[in-house]
Amino acid sequence: MKILDEFVAGFRNHARTSSGRSPGNDFESRHGESGDDRPKVPADEAEEHSASASSRGLIQILFRFVEEIIGSADSLIEVYSDRIKLSVRRTMVQAVVGAGAAVCAAVWLGASALAIVRGACGGLATLWGGREWLGDLTGGVLALAFAAGAVALYLRLSSRRELGRLRAKYERIRNEHNHDQDTASPAGDG
């Protein structure tokens, strides 16, 4: 932007120093200035002045247009950078809130499971005649057996589901293969 302003300012200064070529000046004082001995006709000089003024005006319009484009680009870049900053900030806040909620849910579920196990262990201790160590041991073994049973049940159901899916896939492939052979054989006979 600074270079552009300096160029326009230099162009204006050049126009002021060369104002001796304007139509209202003395023709004889400029005799021989352009390399020929005859003075310029005022009509030629006016035409030259209007051409240089129109080219100056065109250059100024072009410079203004370039300045506006650069200003618009700067504004657009600033808007996009602000949007990205806001988006990152929102994402970070959502991640922190989500992580906090997950930790709270895990602690809550862990505490409730612990309360259930502690209650079951207390009941088993009462069953074993007040021996707390035997109640805790039995409760721990039962909790582990329950967890192992749940995992085994999940794996069994998952494998059955996978086998059913594979069976359906292979039957579909076999049917498509048989269908393709049935339609290909009559064409080969003909």
What pLDDT does 163 receive?
94
Distance CA 10, CA 5 (A): 9
C-alpha to C-alpha distances, 102 to 52, 89, 92, 114, nearest whole angstrom: 74, 20, 15, 18
pLDDT digits (tens, 9 = 90+) for 21-60: 444 444 444 444 444 555 555 556 656 666 677 788 888 8
Residue 65 amino acid letter: F
pLDDT digits (tens, 9 = 90+) for 139-178: 889 999 999 999 999 999 999 999 999 999 999 998 888 8
Distance CA 74, CA 151 (A): 59
Residue 20's pLDDT band (boundaries 50, 70, 90)? very low
Mean pLDDT score, 119-133: 90
Distance CA 82, CA 75 (A): 11
- In the predicted model, is pLDDT for residue 64 greater than 50? yes
CB 122 within 8 A of CB 135: yes
Alpha-helix residue ranges (DSSP H) falling in 22-131? 42-127
pTM given for the model: 0.42
What pLDDT does 128 receive?
86
What pLDDT does 7 receive?
53
Distance CA 57, CA 72 (A): 22
As given in the structure block, the two tokens for residue 122 are 């207390």
